[in-house]
A and B are shown apart, each in its own frame.
Chain A
Amino acid sequence: MSRADVLEADTGRRTNPLWSLGLLRSELVTTVRRWRTLALLGVLAAVPVLVGIAVRIETRGGGSAGGGSGEGPAFITQITNNGLFLVFTALAATLPFFLPMAVGVVAGDAIAGEAGAGTLRYLLVAPAGRTRLLLTKYATVLAFCLLATLVVAVSALIVGALLFPMGELTTISGTRISFAEGLGRALLIALVVAASLVGVAALGLFVSTLTNSGIAAMATTVGLVITVQIVDQIPQLHALQPYLFSHYWLSFADLMRDPVYWDDLVRNLGLQGLYAVVFGSAAWARFTAKDISA
Chain B
Amino acid sequence: MAPYESDDAVDAAQDETPRSGRRKAARYAVPVAVVGVAAATIGLVPALADSGDPDLPKISAQQLIEKIAKSDVQQLSGTVKVSTDLGLPDLGGLEDGLLSGAGGGGSGDGSSADPQAKLTELVSGTHTLRVAADGPDRQKLSLLERGAEYSLIHDGKDVWGYDSKSNEAYHSTAAGSGKDHRSEPPATPKDFADEALKAVDDTTSVTVDGTAQVAGRDAYKLLIQPRQSGTTVGAISIAVDAKTGMPLKFTLTPKSGGAAVLDAGFTQVSFARPAASTFDFTPPKGAKVTEEKDEAEARGHAPKHGDAPTHGRAPKHGEDFAEGLKGTGGPTVIGKGWTSVVTVDTGAKGGLPTGSQGGDLGGFLGSLGEQVDGKFGKGTVFSTRLVNALITDDGKVYAGAVTKDALVKAADAAK
Contact = CB atoms under 8 A, between A and B. Distances in A.
Interface of A: 2-4, 64, 66, 68-70, 73-75, 77-78, 80-82, 92, 115-118, 165, 169-170, 172-176, 211-213, 250, 253-254, 257-258, 261, 263, 274, 277-279, 281-282, 284-286, 288-294
A253 B146 contact: yes
- How extensive is the interface on chain B, given as a class? 35 or more
A12 to B, nearest CB: 14
Interface in B106-153: 112, 128, 130, 142, 144, 146-149, 151, 153
Residue among A165, A213, A257 with the most chain B CB within 10 A?
A: A257
A172 B149 CA distance: 6
B4 A175 contact: no
A78 B164 contact: yes
Contact of B4 (A3, A212, A293): A212
B17 A2 contact: yes
A290 B24 CA distance: 9
A293 B148 contact: no
Contact of A278 (B34, B164, B280): B34
Given A278-B31, A284-B30, A294-B1, A4 B147 contact: no
A289 B24 contact: yes
B162 interface: yes
B281 A174 contact: yes
A165 B286 CA distance: 11
B27 A253 contact: no
Contacts of B27: 284-286, 288-289
B284 A81 contact: yes
B357 interface: no
Contacts of A173: 130, 142, 149, 151, 164
Contacts of B7: 115, 212, 290-294
Given A282-B28, A285-B30, A172 B11 contact: no
B327 interface: no
B165 A70 contact: yes
A173 B65 CA distance: 35
A286 B27 CA distance: 8
29 contacts: A2-B20, A4-B23, A69-B166, A70-B112, A74-B147, A74-B165, A75-B147, A77-B164, A77-B165, A169-B284, A172-B149, A173-B142, A173-B149, A174-B142, A174-B164, A175-B277, A175-B281, A212-B4, A212-B7, A261-B79, A261-B130, A263-B267, A282-B30, A285-B30, A289-B24, A291-B11, A291-B14, A293-B10, A294-B7
Nearest to A292: B7
B102 interface: no
B88 interface: no
Given A3-B14, A169-B284, A174-B153, 18 more contacts: A4-B23, A70-B112, A70-B163, A73-B147, A74-B146, A81-B286, A118-B3, A170-B284, A172-B149, A173-B142, A212-B5, A213-B4, A253-B148, A274-B38, A282-B28, A285-B28, A291-B11, A294-B3
B165 A212 contact: no
A278 B35 contact: yes
Contact of A68 (B3, B35, B168): B168
Nearest to B77: A259
A286 B30 CA distance: 11
A250 B34 contact: no
Interface in B1-45: 1-7, 10-11, 14, 17, 19-20, 23-24, 27-28, 30-31, 34-35, 38
A279 B146 CA distance: 28
A80 B286 contact: yes
Contacts of A74: 146-148, 165
Contacts of B165: 70, 74, 77
Interface string B70-84: 000000000100000
Contact of A250 (B79, B146, B168): B146
B133 to A, nearest CB: 15
Given A175-B278, A253-B146, A261-B144, A279 B31 contact: yes
A293 B2 CA distance: 9
B287 interface: yes
Nearest to A170: B284
A291 B278 CA distance: 61
A116 B281 CA distance: 59
A270 B286 CA distance: 38
Contacts of B147: 73-75, 92, 250, 253
